[in-house]
Amino acid sequence: MPPPKVYKLTIDHDGVHWDVRLRGKKRFLEERTFLHQLVGNPAKERPVPDPSTDYFMLNDEQLEAYSAFRKKMKRSA
């Protein structure tokens, strides 16, 4: 069985941006959906991956919420 495909999300916080690499489509979609809800984007069908919408600018509170979400995902994996 081949290894899962790696997907990328880009996070920007106070002018610093970094890429979050995620293994597998399911994990990618879960994190992207969470981020879209966090920043207030409507949920709609999007290509996977979609560079035009896989970029997220987060404020301090949103970054804390995303960090907590990722920790929870890692514990449940």
Beta bridge mates, 6? 23
Q: Domain count for the chain, please give it.
A: 1
Assess if residue 63 is contained within a domain.
Answer: yes
**What is the per-residue pLDDT across 18-40, written as a single tens digit (0 to 9) for each?**
999 999 999 999 999 999 999 98
- Angle CA 61–32–42, to nearest 5: 80
pLDDT given for residue 16 in this prediction = 95
Segment holding 9, helix H or strand E = strand 6-13
Q: How far apart are CA 37 and CA 53, in angstroms?
A: 13
Q: How far apart are CA 8 and CA 5, in angstroms?
A: 10
Beta bridge mates, 8? 21
What pLDDT band is residue 9 in, cutting at 50, 70 and 90? very high
Assess if residue 39 is contained within a domain.
Answer: yes
Assess if residue 1 is contained within a domain.
Answer: no
Assess if residue 37 is contained within a domain.
Answer: yes
Q: Which domain holds residue 48?
A: 6-76
Higher pLDDT, 37 or 50: 37
Assess if residue 71 is contained within a domain.
Answer: yes
Task: Please tell me the pTM assigned to this model.
Answer: 0.85
pLDDT given for residue 37 in this prediction = 92
Assess if residue 68 is contained within a domain.
Answer: yes
